[in-house]
């Protein structure tokens, strides 16, 4: 729902920047399609690991861009609560991608092999519900045996971990900031935005409270109140910022050269976010 009040130059400005970030995504897609997945190495295994890392990097980018554009569409519709849920996922994608890059071969293999843990979890759920085993159950169990030392919990390796890296986001960010002080910005975003956006994943008091407004001492109330311009700007600003980080990371990881225009967009985001 668009504002019917005064013009919102800050909102229009951040929407323009978000559109320009997406245009950079188009440029990256063209580069990826022209480059393809190519790798050199001392062995077939090394080449395979590099190809897998490149493929995962490209998939993370595609996933993140889908989230980013979904946030943009939701903001334009005035649906800020679901947009904050997707913003949270976008931040997780960014942190996960940066973490994989710290040890591409090890973390790529760990990420891919977690598919066996997910299949095993589905089998356990099926058995819990009393369903007959699927035809592929034997293979699922065999695959799980091959990865349970890696993906099983510390207390019981027959129980899969909750995620592929076996850590929480705060731990990963701590490691990233030790490697590079530039990631301190992400640590702050985690504390300020990610934790705040996490309140909107469930039917929490904060999330439900966004859908009703009682103005002043009046007995009247408003269902579906229009989001404040500063809240619209804030969601687009941080998501545009995170998408720029992802774009820059993919450019670096895949040897595509620097991300041109990123610094200008970065400054524009900071100015609009500071003065909506």
CA distance to 114, 125, 142, 161, per residue, from 128 (Å):
21, 5, 19, 18
pTM of the model: 0.91
- Return the closest-CA partner of residue 99 out of 172, 179, 182: 172
Percent share of the chain, pLDDT over 90: 71
Give Cα 32 to chain centroid, integer Å: 20
Q: What is the pLDDT of residue 258?
A: 81
Query: At 218, is the pLDDT very low, low, confident or very high (cuts 50, 70, 90)?
Result: low
**Top-confidence residue, 266 or 116:** 116
The answer to whether 249 touches 60, Cβ cutoff 8 Å, is no
- The answer to whether position 3 is within a domain reads no
- Return the closest-CA partner of residue 227 out of 276, 186, 272, 274: 276
CA distance to 14, 60, 131, per residue, from 72 (Å):
10, 18, 41
Tens digits of residue pLDDT in 178-204: 999 989 999 999 999 999 999 999 999
H-helix or E-strand spanning residue 140:
helix 137-151
The answer to whether 231 touches 80, Cβ cutoff 8 Å, is yes
Using the predicted structure, report yes or no on whether residue 68 has a pLDDT greater than 70.
Answer: yes
- The answer to whether position 164 is within a domain reads yes
Domain count, the chain: 1
Using the predicted structure, report yes or no on whether residue 161 has a pLDDT greater than 70.
Answer: yes
- The answer to whether position 211 is within a domain reads yes
CA gap 66, 33 in Å, rounded:
18
- The answer to whether position 4 is within a domain reads no
- The answer to whether position 71 is within a domain reads yes
Percent share of the chain, pLDDT over 70: 94
Per the DSSP assignment, residues forming a β-bridge with 152 are: 160
Q: What is the pLDDT of residue 196?
A: 94
Angle (nearest 5°) at CA 20 between 181 and 173: 25
The answer to whether 184 touches 177, Cβ cutoff 8 Å, is yes
Query: At 87, is the pLDDT very low, low, confident or very high (cuts 50, 70, 90)?
Result: very high
Per the DSSP assignment, residues forming a β-bridge with 223 are: 212
Query: At 216, is the pLDDT very low, low, confident or very high (cuts 50, 70, 90)?
Result: low
Residue 188 CB-density burial (10 A; 0-12 exposed, 13-18 middle, 19+ buried): exposed
CA gap 2, 59 in Å, rounded:
33
The answer to whether 240 touches 265, Cβ cutoff 8 Å, is yes
Using the predicted structure, report yes or no on whether residue 234 has a pLDDT greater than 90.
Answer: yes
- Please, what is the average pLDDT of the chain? 90
Query: At 224, is the pLDDT very low, low, confident or very high (cuts 50, 70, 90)?
Result: confident
Q: What is the pLDDT of residue 6?
A: 45
Q: Which domain holds residue 263?
A: 9-274
- The answer to whether position 255 is within a domain reads yes
Q: What is the dihedral of CA 152, 155, 161, 167, to 10 degrees?
A: -120
Query: At 97, is the pLDDT very low, low, confident or very high (cuts 50, 70, 90)?
Result: very high
In the chain the first and final C-alpha atoms are separated, in Å, by 18
Tens digits of residue pLDDT in 201-215: 999 999 998 988 776
Q: What is the dihedral of CA 218, 220, 225, 229, to 10 degrees?
A: -30
| Sign of the alpha-carbon torsion through 26, 31, 32, 33 | positive
Q: What is the pLDDT of residue 217?
A: 58
């Amino acid at each position: 729902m668009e504002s019917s009040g005064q013009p919102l130059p800050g909102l229009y400005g951040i929407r323009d920047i978000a559109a320009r970030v997406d245009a950079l995504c188009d440029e990256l897609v063209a580069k990826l399609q022209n480059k393809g997945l190519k790798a050199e190495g001392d062995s077939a295994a090394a080449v395979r690991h590099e190809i897998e890392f490149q493929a995962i990097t490209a998939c993370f980018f595609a996933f993140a861009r889908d989230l980013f554009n979904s946030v943009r569409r939701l903001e334009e519709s005035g649906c800020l609560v679901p947009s904050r849920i997707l913003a949270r996922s976008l931040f997780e994608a960014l942190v996960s991608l940066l973490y994989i890059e710290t040890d591409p071969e090890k973390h790529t293999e760990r990420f891919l092999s977690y598919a066996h843990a997910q299949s095993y979890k589905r089998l356990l759920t099926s058995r819990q519900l009393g369903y007959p085993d699927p035809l592929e159950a034997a293979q699922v169990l065999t695959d799980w045996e091959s990865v349970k030392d890696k993906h099983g919990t510390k207390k019981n390796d027959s129980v899969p971990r909750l995620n592929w890296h076996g850590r929480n986001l705060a731990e990963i960010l701590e490691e990233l900031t030790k490697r590079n002080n530039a990631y301190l910005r992400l640590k702050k975003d985690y504390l300020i935005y990610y934790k705040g956006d996490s309140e909107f994943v469930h039917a929490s008091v904060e999330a439900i409270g966004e859908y009703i407004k009682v103005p002043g001492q009046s007995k009247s109330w408003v269902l579906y109140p229009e989001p404040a311009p500063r809240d619209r700007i804030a969601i687009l600003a941080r998501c545009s910022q995170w998408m720029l980080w992802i774009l820059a990371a993919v450019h670096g990881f895949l040897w595509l050269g620097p991300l041109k225009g990123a610094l200008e967009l970065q400054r524009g985001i900071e100015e609009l976010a500071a003065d909506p």
